[in-house]
Structure 1
């Protein structure tokens, strides 16, 4: 009989805990996004941005730490790490995922609340490839990490992440439609959720010059930093687990 308390069984509690943490993050992140127009009237755009960022980053750090400490929980479904070519393939997918997750189509000074944060109806850069680059990036990240780790815990995490981002696709379009009306509907008609679909259908064109921006260099630097800091992230997460355990 499988032991519910066993971290290496199909019923490891960590599977449900990570889904709960993902649900908490989803409620906070999308909930605050839905309240943006109301909140900005109450506390201003910068005040809202600070609360949104602090809440999202704090919950994301908890989620990342928990994932790193439990990534091999559950049943090991496959062992692909020793297969030739898998490691560079996984890292290549991870780099591509970050280019979508952090598309640099946003004003970094607004993100940091140095400039007044605003809602923009972007239709340039990576938005030409897909209207929802964060969702695409998350799917690619999940494919890479599920292949590398191969545990049921990682699959459960990826299921929750992709599920939330699919919801965010609907939620994000709904918010933009409410704010911009016909202007968003026109932009929606010229873009696609599926990568490159609008370009393939002739509704959009790829403008490579739009990717030659300092902010994209910042994304490349961030990816390199993640590569370099990866071992430290693992050990740091383990130390947090020891301190809280």
Structure 2
């Protein structure tokens, strides 16, 4: 038992474990790291296995997941190796009904391209109950826009933010909102420790997109993380050419790693809420 972060090879997995710190159980084995959040069994990314190294053995690794997390309705695991791409060795997963996902890890290894806060926008930490209600509502609205079911996603995200608020109260993270008057128009989470920081859930209201608000939130988030730990490396996971990836690259983030996930959703559906950062 432990947090597993210092044993992970990649920044991506280190940051995955960081995001679940204090609300998860982590068991480290010679060949894998097992992550479990007992209070959130339906949160796929919080109940998964990271295999150490680049060995791909579909039948054995599926069986190992089932042994490690027998109560899980889903299957989700990845490989803690920095340069993996989906290749022929992964083909059996598709035949078994798995979704294969290739994720880019971007990090800030140079000075941040700082973005000013747009006129009329106020960026500050999320603090009040009304603030949090607006954050959850914006998360749900954005997910519905992407095709997720409002009711099921609402249950998921409400439970997620119970954990996140406990982590923020413990000083492990912070959540920032961009407000136009009293209206939340964008938000962003940031987790930090001495080695790595990880952005989470950059969301913007449609009426306020392409106004530079997300880049301003990233600037605030990096400043907060560096204030906690000056040597921390800011990290996110996204598709480099996707909306979140483009925002971060404009801020100075660069591609650092490529990770691969194998996912089998419950009952053959693929409705996993996206972790956009």
Normalising by structure 2, what TM-score? 0.27
Larger Rg: 1 or 2? Answer: 1
More helix by share: 1
